[in-house]
Amino acid sequence: MVKIYLDPGHGGTDPGAVADGLQEKDLVLDIAHEINRLLRRYQGVDVRMSRTSDRTVRLQQRTDDANQWGADYFLSIHINAGGGTGYEDFIYNQLSSGSDTSAMRDVMHQSIVERIGMRNRGKKTANFHVLRASRMPALLTENGFIDHADDAVNMRDQTWIRQVAQGHVNGLVGLFQLEQRQQSEASEDEKTRTYQGNSIVDYLNAMGKDHSYQNRKKLAETHGITNYQGTAEQNLSLLNKLRDNNQSQQPVLSSDATGDLDTTSVVDYLKSMGEDASFAHRKDLAQQFGIANYRGTASQNTELLAKLRRQQ
Instruction: Please report whether residue 86 would count as binding Zn ion according to CB under 5 A.
Output: no
Give the shortest CB-31-to-Zn ion separation in angstroms.
Answer: 12
Residue 54: CB partners within 8 Å, gap ≥ 6?
11, 12, 25, 26, 29, 230
Instruction: Please report whether residue 78 would count as binding Zn ion according to CB under 5 A.
Output: yes
Rounded-to-integer distance, Cα 243 and Cα 151, Å: 36
From the list 4-12, 156-164, 188-196, 248-256, the region that binds Zn ion by CB under 5 A is 4-12
User: Could you give the C-alpha distances from 114 to 107, 111, 190, in angstroms and in order?
Assistant: 11, 5, 30
User: Could you give the C-alpha distances from 212 to 13, 159, 247, 278, in angstroms and in order?
Assistant: 19, 11, 23, 23
Instruction: Please report whether residue 25 would count as binding Zn ion according to CB under 5 A.
Output: no
**Nearer CB in complex with Zn ion: 128/213:** 128
**Nearer CB in complex with Zn ion: 9/274:** 9
Give the shortest CB-76-to-Zn ion separation in angstroms.
Answer: 8
**Nearer CB in complex with Zn ion: 51/283:** 51
Q: Report which residue's Cβ sits closest to Zn ion.
A: 78
**Nearer CB in complex with Zn ion: 78/216:** 78
Instruction: Please report whether residue 9 would count as binding Zn ion according to CB under 5 A.
Output: yes
**Sign (positive or negative) of CA dihedral 134, 176, 279, 275:** positive
From the list 2-10, 132-140, 150-158, 236-244, the region that binds Zn ion by CB under 5 A is 2-10
What's the distance, Cα to Cα, between the start and end of the chain in Å?
A: 33
142 classed as catalytic: yes
Of these, 8, 16, 137, 167, which contacts Zn ion (CB under 5 A)?
16
φ/ψ region of 117 (left if φ > 0, alpha if ψ in -120 to 50, else beta) reads: left
Q: How many residues bind Zn ion (CB under 5 A)?
A: 3
Q: Is 216 helix (H, G, I), strand (E, B) or coil?
A: helix
Task: Report whether 91 contacts 158 (CB < 8 A).
Answer: no
**Nearer CB in complex with Zn ion: 78/162:** 78
Rounded-to-integer distance, Cα 153 and Cα 149, Å: 6
Would you please indicate which residues are annotated as catalytic (active-site) residues?
A: 142
Would you tell me which residues interact with Zn ion (CB under 5 A)? 9, 16, 78
